Amino acid sequence: MIEAAGRAQHRLTPWLKPSPTVRSKRTDLWFKCEQFQSTGSFKIRGALNKIASMREAGDSVAEVITASSGNH
């Protein structure tokens, strides 16, 4: 699992802005601030990683259709 996350990070780094982690002042929680992505959300990570991994495998990706019912 960690290896797959590392591969995804390598694939996505050229395309995504760094997003900071911020610690809560009230509790021991950390937040990953994905709202700083150009899309304003984290959703780009999964779709972009899938497309990039398909291209790495030699699959042709000409068109992509996605569906979303809002936030997860």
Catalytic status, residue 43? yes
Rounded CA-CA distance 56/58 in Å is 5
Catalytic one among 19, 43, 50, 53?
A: 43
Catalytic one among 38, 60, 68, 69?
A: 69
User: Which residue numbers are catalytic?
Assistant: 43, 69
